[in-house]
Amino acid sequence: MKVDVILGLQWGDEGKGKIVDVFTPHYDIIARFQGGPNAGHTIIFGGKKFVLHTIPSGIFHHQTLNVIGNGVIIDPFILFKEIDKLIDAGMRPEKNLLVSRRAHLIIPTHRLMDAALESNKGVSKIGSTLKGIGPTYTDKYGRNGLRVGNITDQTFSQQYQKLKTEHLEVIRHLGFDRASHLLDGLDFDAYEAKWFESISRLKELQIIDSEVFLNKSLDQGKRVLAEGAQGTMLDVDFGSYPFVTSSNTITAGVCAGLGISPHRIGKIYGIFKAYCTRVGSGPFPTELHDSTGEKLRIGGNEFGSTTGRPRRCGWLDLPALKYSIMLNGVDSLIMMKADVLNPFTTINICTDYRKEGEILSGYPFELSDERIQPVYKELKGWSANLDDCKVAAEMPADLSDYIKYIETEVGLPIDTVSIGPDRLQTLQR
């Protein structure tokens, strides 16, 4: 068997959580391969809403196992907050949750470092979620990190103290005492104590060599789905650097983040919104600063699932979408939030970027260049409510035309269309 993949093609928040949950009944295992609690994946069913940060979005289906892979970074405090919320809702997430021994730990001072580094960037700040993502991946690649497998070492607390001392040294060097004031006055000592309580609880979870487990499961014919976090345009190599996250969010990240050979990658689902959003700083060619942008934000409830920040909104960006499709080798597209465009009589789609009168051929190295302007094609909106649309055949003709236009432009089928946040509001074409 092969590992199928679902990942975001834009700047994150495409609706990965919802779709992974919808697809989960077709899989035995759902595995996260990168990112950490910077992610916020929303799942809504039966009138209840859950937001997951570290736990894979298959957790609501008890027969499916959920693996936090080696490429993920884990803040145990946040992980157990998530687990406790699920327990409060009557679930037993520890039963079908498995954690890689090789996943790196976000320690409390990683969060302080994130805040201090971000603060020192001044006007060029990235708009990080301040969950410690950059500093933790820096320690991973700098070969200083602590891994889940280390928590049972006799010397774990010494290893922790050593890393913490190094971090505090750097933070002082950056001009801060502890930088807690940058994190809403975080009570560091209380946070650290809770973090250690979570470490004790982590020891009770099923800690595994996930790379071996996943490969054996494939050998046994198990169906595995890899769940991406963030989006392709936030990829550390191919996103709008430096306004990116610190991991490879693309299909290639699945191999390193789960220990899967490229030969074992199966179907690749790329997920995008019918328009675009971005949270945090960085270039966004189709951003709308006017009332139309506000209409998308309010209609789409575009406020961050992790930080609550208003998301920046704009029209669909085909040059970025085509670039993402190329990077990921997408086989099948999933278009989200079509319903948010219901009230629009006309809808714009960016077909190209123009710079000083010239249409750009490739994807630009420096997207921040203010001379890069979107070229739009205006399409007719469907001006209809989609609530009664239960199957794809019932879609308004103008929505079908919108979909067909995108399919023709990018050369791939849009097999799934989401028309609302609930599990049930999903159409297969």
Quick count: other Cβ atoms within 10 Å of Cβ 289? 10
Has 219 been annotated as catalytic?
A: no
- Verify binding: residue 4, Mg ion, rule CB under 5 A: no
Quick count: other Cβ atoms within 10 Å of Cβ 207? 18
Has 289 been annotated as catalytic?
A: no
Please count the residues of this chain forming the interface with ligand GDP, following the rule CB under 6 A. 23
Least distance to Mg ion from the beta carbon of 406, Å? 22
Residue 288 to residues 144, 210, 294, 316, 335, Cα–Cα distance (Å): 42, 43, 8, 11, 20
Report the residue from 8, 69, 71, 253 that binds ligand GDP according to the rule CB under 6 A. Answer: 8
Least distance to ligand IMO from the beta carbon of 186, Å? 16
Instruction: Identify which of residues 215 and 277 has a Cβ nearer to ligand IMO in the complex.
Output: 277
Residue 286 to residues 233, 283, 293, Cα–Cα distance (Å): 14, 9, 10
Report the residue from 3, 6, 16, 171 that binds ligand GDP according to the rule CB under 6 A. Answer: 16
Instruction: Identify which of residues 220 and 428 has a Cβ nearer to ligand GDP in the complex.
Output: 428
- Verify binding: residue 111, ligand GDP, rule CB under 6 A: no
- Verify binding: residue 297, ligand GDP, rule CB under 6 A: no
Question: Which of the residues 324 through 363 are near ligand GDP (CB under 6 A)?
Answer: 336-337, 339-340
Least distance to ligand IMO from the beta carbon of 207, Å? 24
Least distance to ligand IMO from the beta carbon of 17, Å? 8
Helix (H, G, I), strand (E, B) or coil at 350: strand
258 touches 211 (CB < 8 A):
yes
Give the integer Cα–Cα distance in Å for 104 and 37. 12
Helix (H, G, I), strand (E, B) or coil at 176: coil
Cis peptide, bond prior to residue 25, ω within 30 of zero:
no
Instruction: Identify which of residues 99 and 386 has a Cβ nearer to ligand GDP in the complex.
Output: 386
Least distance to ligand GDP from the beta carbon of 12, Å? 6
Give the integer Cα–Cα distance in Å for 170 and 402. 52
- Verify binding: residue 235, ligand GDP, rule CB under 6 A: no
- The catalytic residue among 41, 53, 110, 167 is 41
- Verify binding: residue 312, ligand GDP, rule CB under 6 A: no
Quick count: other Cβ atoms within 10 Å of Cβ 291? 8
291 touches 27 (CB < 8 A):
no
- Verify binding: residue 82, ligand GDP, rule CB under 6 A: no
> Which candidate, 35, 7, 31, places its Cα nearest to that of 19?
7
Report the run of H or E that residue 100 belongs to, with start and end.
strand 97-100
Give the integer Cα–Cα distance in Å for 137 and 232. 18
Residues at the contact surface with ligand IMO, assessed by CB under 6 A: 8, 11-13, 38-41, 126-129, 131, 133-134, 229-231, 234, 245, 279-280, 305
Q: Please identify every residue annotated as catalytic.
A: 13, 41
Contact residues for ligand GDP, defined by CB under 6 A: 8, 12-18, 40-42, 44, 300-301, 305, 336-337, 339-340, 418-421
